[in-house]
């Protein structure tokens, strides 16, 4: 059994993120497997067969692609479906994060300090408490999942994952409120975020870690096989990294172009 299972789900416009996500996770996490839920496993593996094979050459057969019924949004599917892989811990993450460091050590320390069987933070919300979408837990504490009887999964909005997660965790233990730490582990390359102020490129340590990843044979060879749509996001990321030191925080705050003000409402 591996120490860590990193689990996520992807469909539609987020499928191009799947192989880069797995590559970045497995490069930085040795005793780990990645499992990704997709709507059509055969189609995904056929479309990305060369990339999957190349990744296995570097890290071994540590990527598991599983087919799941997407009877709700992918953001929720990742929290409610039973993975094929077992592990000591599970980390359910966002597929649009480019991971740049080991995942388990920080969360295990948070759990130890707070005497918890999971690592996540509770947030206040107008509709009630919610949790973040990055959830680390003892595997046997999280599974099997317990979905509240009054939840209609098909009626949930895509961003209801945190409130559902809060209720699922609450069924097993009282969630801890307050700040306990919520590591992101890399660049959050969200389609709803703006690179200079929301992807995390102003964090120099992350930029340095990305430069180290870029220079590895694994990343260079995998990059040539990534979905062309994802390469556009990488070009945007690298342009933001190159240009971010030219702008102060106030410059970004004052600029509609740099901050993305107004665009997010339109995109959503």
Please check the confidence at residue 265 and state whether its pLDDT lies above 50.
Answer: no
Nearest 5°: the CA angle 60, 62, 63 is: 120
Contacts of 215 (CB under 8 A, 6+ apart): none
Whole-number Å distance between alpha carbons of 11 and 119: 26
Q: Round to whole Å and give the CA distance between 228 and 19.
A: 12
pLDDT in the model for residue 266: 43
For the cut 90, the answer to whether the pLDDT of residue 248 exceeds it is no
**pLDDT 10s digits, 75-94:** 999 999 999 999 999 999 99
Is pLDDT above 70 for 108?
yes
Q: How many helices (H) and strands (E) does the chain have?
A: 14, 10
Query: In whole angstroms, how large is the CA radius of gyration of the chain?
Result: 18
Q: What are the structural domains of the chain?
A: 2-170 (3.90.550.10), 193-267 (no CATH)
Check if the beta carbon of residue 137 is closer than 8 Å to that of residue 70. Answer: no
Q: Is the whole-model pTM more than 0.95?
A: no
Pick the closest to residue 68 from 9, 108, 156, 18 (CA basis). 9
């Amino acid at each position: 059994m591996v120490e860590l299972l990193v689990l996520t789900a992807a469909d539609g416009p987020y499928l191009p993120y799947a192989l880069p996500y797995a590559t970045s996770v497995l490069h930085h996490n040795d005793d780990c497997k990645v499992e990704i839920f997709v709507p059509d496993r055969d189609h995904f593996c056929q479309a990305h067969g060369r990339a999957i094979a190349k990744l296995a050459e570097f890290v071994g057969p540590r990527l598991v692609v599983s087919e799941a019924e997407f009877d709700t949004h992918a953001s929720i599917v990742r929290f409610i479906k039973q993975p094929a892989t077992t592990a000591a811990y599970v980390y359910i993450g966002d597929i649009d994060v480019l991971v740049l460091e080991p995942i388990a050590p920080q969360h295990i320390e948070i759990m130890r300090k707070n005497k918890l069987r999971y690592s996540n933070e509770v947030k206040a919300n107008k509709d009630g408490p919610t949790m973040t979408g990055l959830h680390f837990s003892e595997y046997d504490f999280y599974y099997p999942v317990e979905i509240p009887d009054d939840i209609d999964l098909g009626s949930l909005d895509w961003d209801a994952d945190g409130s559902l997660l809060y209720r699922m965790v609450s069924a097993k233990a009282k969630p801890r409120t307050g700040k306990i730490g919520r590591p992101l582990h890399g660049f959050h390359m969200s389609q709803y975020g703006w690179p200079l102020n929301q992807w995390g490129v102003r964090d120099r340590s992350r930029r340095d870690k990305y430069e180290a990843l870029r220079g590895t044979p694994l990343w260079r060879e995998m990059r040539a096989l990534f979905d062309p749509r994802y390469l556009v996001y990488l070009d945007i990321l690298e342009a933001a990294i190159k240009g971010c030191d030219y702008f102060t925080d106030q410059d970004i705050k004052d600029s509609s172009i740099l901050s993305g003000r107004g665009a997010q409402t339109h995109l959503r």
